[in-house]
Structure 1
Amino acid sequence: MTMDPPGVPVARAFSAIFGWTCFVAWSISFWPQVILNFRRKGVEGLSLDFLSYKVVGFTCYSIYTLAFSASEVVQDQYRARNNGASNLVAPNDVVFAVHAWVLTIITWKATHSLSVLCKVVILAAMGSIATYLIAMVVKPSIEELDLMNFLGSWKLGMSLIIYLPQMFMNYRNKSTVGWSIHNIILDATGGTLSLVQLFLDAWIAWRITDGPLEGWVSRALSGNGTKLTMCSTARRGGSNSGAGRERRVKWGSRPERKIANIKCPSLKLVIEFKRSLSA
């Protein structure tokens, strides 16, 4: 029986802990928005374009993780191209992807109309995937693994633009009413822990560049994107109170001026977060 190199068992244990912790944080992060919509009996302040990009992204990501986890054909093709090494998709990745897709669909069905740009992006995604499927039939050299990587690329593309519609709506409304700050904090926590897990897995495998590129970049963008939205939430001072208790705080009012005078951005966020909880 081959012994693991020193440090590997400990790294594996921490990888599992970080993996399931980020899975819990990410999975829970979808619920505050659903609960907030239910309490407010509406979705005003929530961008449908943002949700639509999430639906496309998590549809691709769910298929991607399911294939890497359950398809022996895809697994064999991956090992053949990576010197016999297995992929780094974990069971919690699959559960998270499917769970996120279901909750996003539930939230998406309750919202309003799409922008023209979003419709174009969705049609482009559907058309390109359909074209790729036809190409697989015409050209047998294109394998199932190539299709999964193509779907992963679309997930990456959605991650690049997913937060832009919501941040634009927050800026236009000068408010984050209808947008759950708890979602953002949990999402950022999950993104950070997931990156740590991926670093550990790559260190264990001794090949940091052989892991799925789409998973790596999507997780990194998730963490950075939510940080940008957290800054937007802290600066605009949106309230996430329940139905019947909505209020919109104007920038320049006395409470906002007090927060603006604080030089530490993290402290400003903590103060704003506490105020949103007590609202």
Structure 2
Amino acid sequence: MQRIFTRRKLLLIATLFINVVQKAQCDISVSTNDLTIQLEHTDSFNLILRNVTNYAPFTIKFDIQHKDIIRVEPDSYNVTKDEDVNIIVHAIGAGHSEVVANATNSSITVRKAFVRVTVQKHPELDTFSLVIGWIYFVAWSISFYPQIYVNFQRKSVVGLNFDFLALNIIGFTLYAVFNLGLYFIPEIKAEYSNRYPRGLNPVQVNDIVFAVHAAAATIITIVQCYLYERSDQRVSHVARIIIGVFGLFLFIGIILAASDVIHWLDFLYYCSYVKLTITLIKYVPQAYMNYKRQSTVGWSIGNIFLDFTGGILSMLQMIIISYNYDDWVSIFGDPTKFGLGLFSVVFDIFFIVQHYVLYRHTNYEEQ
């Protein structure tokens, strides 16, 4: 009985000790992790110091990622007590930079003490960029409906390439899986935070809405292929082989993720890679089909104009952002997104030329 009482007493003492230590832990943070400043202006944030008495005195020094973009005052601070210290940030160049606090006492954790600073040339351009973003979001979102209407009006899908549809539904489904997983699943969000502790989740609500809506609209178009006249059209053997390769790649990814060889976040990245590849190749079957038929009848030109509008505005937004933040590396250093947009626009122009120049006198249904 005495031994049990002693164990309980020790457990109580240990618990009290842990609580005291936790309460006494030095806590250093900042009032905001994100700051946007206009070029040649200033703003500030607070360095928040709590429970520092047992560790003081020590010095906090601020490391700046790009010293040609911002400078801070003071660039270091001697800590002696709990307080909020106002730190002034001067914007001296456009772009993105980080301010990271480091303590001279190595036992102090300052993981939360960082600020991402964005310096923009003109706030009006930021607003204009946001408006453009919503316009191309709407243009891309409604670009599926002209084709659905054309199919309904003709009661036929002859002229609409089935390879294009098959690749499209796989691409948008994988895009939706990527966005939904990274936005809603706690384990994947936690892994992203661990991998990129100072990064923001790249998925926004409008990304989810667009991906899910695009997949749903493509499914409606596929259902029309079963309801309306389709002649002898079917998914080609080449497309089936490509889809099979994609399926095998993703199946292996699932096995590796389920076996903890890779993280589920990596599997989502694999899904995004397949989506990017599909975006590069999905227009080829339709363009070739139009060439073989010498006609664009059955292929909605309204869809192309909306896709063209979205692509042009998407690239315009990237150019505006790059200029406003002096961040041309986002285009030329990592050209994937810009290149895909440009690739889609080039194909849209090719489809417009096919429709209005090359085959404008050809009516496939009358032949």
How much does 1:235 deviate?
2.5
Q: Between the two proteins, what is the percent identity of the paired residues?
A: 34
Cα distance, 1:100–1:144 mapped onto 2, change above 3 Å: same
1:147 aligns with 2:267: yes
Instruction: Find the aligned partners of 2:173 and 2:334 in 1 and give their Cα distance.
Output: 17
SS at match of 2:239: helix
**Alignment partner, residue 251 of structure 2:** 130
Shift in alpha-carbon separation, 1:67–1:9, aligned structure 2, 3 A: farther
In structure 2, the CA distance between the partners of 1:30 and 1:189, relative to structure 1 (3 Å rule), is same
State yes or no: 1:29 paired with 2:143. Answer: yes
SS at the partner of 2:207?
helix
Which runs of 5 or more structure 1 residues have no equivalent in the other structure? 249-279
Q: TM-score, normalised by structure 2?
A: 0.59
Does the aligned pair in 1 maintain the 2:146–2:300 contact within 8 Å? yes
Alpha-carbon shift at residue 196 of structure 1 (Å): 2.8
Alpha-carbon distance, 1:65 to partner: 2.3
Other-structure match for 1:223: 345
Counterpart pick for 2:239 among 118, 129, 133: 118
Name whichever structure is richer in helix by fraction.
1
Structure 1 residue 151: Cα displacement: 0.7
Q: Partner of 1:195 in structure 2?
A: 315
| 2:37 pairs with 1:4 | yes
Question: More deviation in 224-233 or 23-32?
Answer: 224-233
Larger fraction in strand: 2
Q: Residue type matched to 1:4 in 2?
A: I
Contact 1:79 1:85 in 2 (8 A): yes
Q: For 1:59-87, what per-residue CA distance to the aligned partner results, in whole angstroms no more than 9, with x for missing partners?
A: 11111222333345444444544461224
Unaligned 5+ runs, structure 2: 1-31, 40-120, 226-232
Deviations 1:93-112 (A, max 9, x none): 22111111111111123324
How far residue 153 of structure 1 moved from its aligned partner, in angstroms, is 0.7
Deviation at 1:168, TM superposition (A): 0.9
2: distance between equivalents of 1:205 and 1:93?
Answer: 25
Mapped to 1, the partners of 2:305 and 2:239 lie a distance apart of: 26
User: Judging changes above 3 Å, is the alpha-carbon distance between structure 1 residues 247 and 69 closer, same or farther for their aligned structure 2 residues?
Assistant: farther
Higher relative contact order (CA 8 A, sep 6+): 1
Q: Separation in 1 of the partners of 2:345 and 2:292?
A: 23
Contact 2:354 2:360 in 1 (8 A): no
User: What is aligned with 2:23?
Assistant: none
- How far apart, in 2, do the equivalents of 1:213 and 1:174 lie? 34
Cα displacement string for residues 13-45 of structure 1 (whole angstroms, at most 9, x for unaligned residues):
223211110011111111000000000000011
2:294 paired with 1:174: yes
Say whether residues 1:105 and 2:214 are aligned partners: no
Q: Is 1:50 matched up with 2:172?
A: no
**Residues 136, 88 of structure 1: alpha-carbon distance in 2 compared, 3 angstrom cutoff:** closer
Cα RMSD over matched residues? 3.1
Aligned to 1:237: 359
- Contact persistence 2:143–2:303 (CA under 8 A): yes
Normalising by structure 1, report the TM-score.
0.75
Q: Distance in 1 between matches of 2:197 and 2:334?
A: 14
Distance 1:74 1:58, change over 3 A: same
Find the counterpart in structure 2 of residue 66 from structure 1: 180
Code of the aligned partner of 2:348: T
**Alpha-carbon shift at residue 238 of structure 1 (Å):** 4.3
Amino acid at match of 1:127: L
Q: Which amino acid in structure 1 is aligned with residue 252 of structure 2?
A: T
> Deviation per CA, 1:238-265, whole angstroms, max 9, x where unpaired?
4899xxxx657xxxxxxxxxxxxxxxxx
In structure 2, relative to structure 1, the CA distance for the partners of 1:58 and 1:227 (3 Å cut) is same
Deviations 1:137-171 (A, max 9, x none): 2244x222211211111011111111111111101
Whole-angstrom distance in 2 between the partners of 1:216 and 1:30: 22
CA contact (8 A) 1:49 1:115 kept: yes
User: When the two structures are aligned, how many residues end up with a matched partner?
Assistant: 244
Change (3 A) 1:134 1:176: same
| 1-structure distance, mates of 2:302, 2:130 | 24
Whole-Å separation in 2 of the counterparts to 1:113 and 1:155? 22
Q: Which whole-Å deviations, capped at 9, do the CAs of 1:221-246 have from their partners, x for residues lacking one? A: 322222222222222334899xxxx6
SS at match of 1:4: strand
State the distance in 1 between where 2:316 and 2:135 align.
Answer: 11
